[in-house]
Amino acid sequence: MPTCCWSVAPTRSRPRCSSSCSRVQAVPPRHRRLRIRVVPASEVIRMDDNPVQALRNRRDSSMRIAIEQVKAGEADACVSAGNTGALMAISRFVLKMLPGIDRPAIARSCPPRTAVSTTMLDLGANVDCEPAHLLQFAVMGSALASVLDGKERPTVGLLNIGEELIKGNDVVKETRLIRENPSISWATSRQRRVRWQERRGRL
């Protein structure tokens, strides 16, 4: 059975249904008046599919079609609860990366104990990273946190097993040495310790 990709058009023009499948006909009339278009897709990416194979062989999947809608400007964003690896691979291939960013990252805003929340990344998009990638995550996280919290220069910290310079693996130690970016406000050891104690008190 074919699946359908739902995309929210960025314009205010009244959408038209572009599929004749039974799922489209089942859309309640009240929803058809919204800025919603139903785009047909004949393939599905399953949770256990290999991301690379899904990228190569599922070109008409609902996930691929949704991401292409974003690229074409027909949708503002793509939201998926499906195969995360495939989502990252297809997004990187179709949408490309920003200049100076080599890898995508998954981010989440943690519930705050104080008025300001904590944004963490990467939370699963990458298995192995180099110091340069961690610095790029810091840039992306800082930009995201500044938008979410309205803070011009949010404080950035490097998560490690301890605050001492001798602790951590080689990637973390090297990242500490090369973190030279004027746009990033790195947290001091005291700031990291205080924030962790506040976070631990919430758990």
Over residues 68-90, the pLDDT tens digits come to 999 999 998 999 999 999 999 99
Q: Strand 108-110 and strand 36-41: pairing?
A: unpaired
pLDDT, average across residues 104-133: 83
SS3 119: strand
The pLDDT confidence band at residue 1, using thresholds 50, 70 and 90, is very low
pLDDT of residue 38: 86
pLDDT, average across residues 149-159: 83
Both tokens of residue 138?
A: 């810091």
- The pTM of the full predicted model, rounded to 2 decimals, is 0.68
Give Cα separations from 73 to 79, 86, 160 (angstroms).
15, 21, 40
User: Distance from first CA to last CA of the chain, Å, rounded?
Assistant: 45
Work out the burial of residue 146: count CB atoms within 10 Å of its CB; fewer than 13 is exposed, 13-18 middle, 19 or more buried.
Answer: middle
Count other Cβ atoms within 10 Å, centred on residue 64.
23
Instruction: Say which residue the tokens 């995550």 belong to.
Output: 137
Helix, strand, coil percent content, the chain, rounded in steps of 5: 40, 10, 50
Q: What is the pLDDT of residues 6-26, one digit of tens each?
A: 444 444 333 334 444 555 555
What sign has the CA pseudo-torsion 47, 48, 50, 55? negative
**Is 33 a residue whose pLDDT tops 70?**
no
